Structure 1
Amino acid sequence: MTDYGLKNVDPEDIEELLGKVEKSFDIKFVGNELVHIDTFGGLCDHILNKIQLNHADDCTSQQAFYKLRDAISSTLQVDHKIISTDLLLADILPPQNRRLRVRKLEEALGFKLNILSPPAWVTWTLLFLLFGGLITLYFSWKIGLSGIVFSIAGFWLAGKVGNELDLQIVEQLAEKMTRENYLKSRRNSKTFNRKETEKLLTDWFAEELGLEKEELTREAKLV
């Protein structure tokens, strides 16, 4: 059996992802409670046991789609019948008023969607400026610091006005909702699907940490 591990993954990336897990499942990791966990399976078991809710066999991603469909229909005046999983988001969120329409959707759903970003060329330009500023610090701290401050301010502003969709179809958005706002996406937020949640965690960790799902066996070492 291949001994997979996450030793090449940045611990800060794992910590950031665990923060998202806390938000999605309304739990809180306190102090050093995760220190003794050394496998991915152990981490999943700990998270599942920490979610103090009743088990239900229903499908959350399906419920997330229904909630999203209702929100789209009621807030964006889109015919309920044409809202399918493969409906293009660009068709219901046109560029000219995209941010306003996304904000209306978020208000109807009760949580942020985080599906808009600046154009790729803006992001790369700001990254180039940031790295340039860091390098320039060794030669002129004033110029280097100015470049760093300008790039950070640029990232903040780009995040506020970004208008590019990160996803393509409604199904992808429903899946994102299921991951990042699991309980709020369910019909009954006082229940959760235990088996579904473990699969969701595997998919989420693989995607966020740039891993193959085959690497995330229950025996995969975290350190």
Structure 2
Amino acid sequence: MERNLLETIISSEYLLEHVELQDISDAIVMIQQSFQISFHENELADVKIFEDLCNLIHGKINLEHNDDCTSQQAYYKLNRALSDVFNLSKLHLSPETLIEDIIPRKNRIEKVKMLEDILDMRLFLLSPPFWLTCMLIVIFLLSLLAFFIGWKIAISGIAFSLLGFRIADRMGKEIAIKTVGELTDNMVSNNYIKSRRDPNTVNKRELDDVTRSIFIKLFYLSPSALHKEAKFSEY
């Protein structure tokens, strides 16, 4: 008997080939943003395994190779930006420092916006309260069921929930990333080129690992599931 998706994840056997193709498109968007590249129509048609995608990414990046550590550079960039925005001593910050201890709840949205402006990247640092997200999901699902009662009620409910998601995303004040170290990792995976000291260079040895981290973050895959021969779904 075939196991369902949840059982597969729990058993730690969730593989790249289990990820549906329409979901892979989310990873492709992140890869293009992070490496500042673009894929043309049908360019991914011949990508069958993870190594194919990595090779395609390497071929797209025509920057000078510099064998340095992007994570270290991103950490120092973030350290300086946090120190400037919140008037902190860089000596008091470490990868284990809690973001919540740095950014007070008062004016949190404005302060994070200042931080993003200095770094010139979106950090995805804040989120709405969990209870609000759950409530909006319930309203959305109930609205779908409401089509059996009346389409006007259903459309109104869907519109309300979608508007709620948008407002909640903009107004959320909950810290979504715990530590300075985790935020540094997010910077590198979401904005690899911008995280480097010199955005006209790249460490080609890091590209595969950054690509791998994007898939791990989006689909909760284990690193062992993203070996070179890992297959993409064919359906």
1: distance between equivalents of 2:213 and 2:121?
22
Would you say 1:111 and 2:121 are equivalent positions?
yes
Please list the CA deviations of residues 183-223 of structure 1 after superposition, one character each: whole Å capped at 9, or x if unmatched. Answer: 11101111111121111211221221121221111111112
Tell me the residue number matched to 1:52.
62
**How does 1:151-162 map onto structure 2 within 5 Å?**
151-162=161-172
Letter in 2 for 1:191: T
Structure 1 window deviating more from structure 2 (28-37 vs 203-212): it is 203-212
Would you say 1:43 and 2:32 are equivalent positions?
no
Gaps of 5+ in 2: 1-13
Letter in 1 for 2:64: N
Q: Equivalent residue of 1:106, what SS? A: helix
Calculate the TM-score normalised by the size of structure 1: 0.95
Deviation for aligned residue 1:8: 2.2
Contact 1:55–1:194 (Cα < 8 Å) also in 2: yes
Please list the CA deviations of residues 109-154 of structure 1 after superposition, one character each: whole Å capped at 9, or x if unmatched. Answer: 1111111110111001000000110111122111111111110010
Q: Equivalent residue of 1:30, what SS? A: coil
Contact 2:17–2:230 (Cα < 8 Å) also in 1: no
Tell me the residue number matched to 1:89.
99
Gaps of 5+ in 1: none
Would you say 1:13 and 2:12 are equivalent positions?
no
Calculate the TM-score normalised by the size of structure 2: 0.90
Structure 1 window deviating more from structure 2 (27-36 vs 92-101): it is 92-101
Q: Equivalent residue of 2:96, what SS? A: coil
Contact 2:31–2:214 (Cα < 8 Å) also in 1: no
Would you say 1:142 and 2:152 are equivalent positions?
yes
Q: Equivalent residue of 1:7, what SS? A: helix
Deviation for aligned residue 1:5: 5.3
2: distance between equivalents of 1:163 and 1:51?
36
**Count of aligned pairs between the two proteins:** 221
2: distance between equivalents of 1:103 and 1:6?
35
Cα RMSD after superposing both structures:
1.5
2: distance between equivalents of 1:210 and 1:132?
28
**How does 1:73-84 map onto structure 2 within 5 Å?**
73-84=83-94
The runs of at least 4 consecutive aligned structure 1 residues that moved more than 4 Å come to: none
Contact 1:14–1:209 (Cα < 8 Å) also in 2: no
Letter in 1 for 2:199: S
Would you say 1:167 and 2:183 are equivalent positions?
no
Relative to structure 1, the CA distance from residue 38 to residue 5 in structure 2 (aligned partners, 3 Å threshold; closer, same or farther) is farther
2: distance between equivalents of 1:164 and 1:35?
40
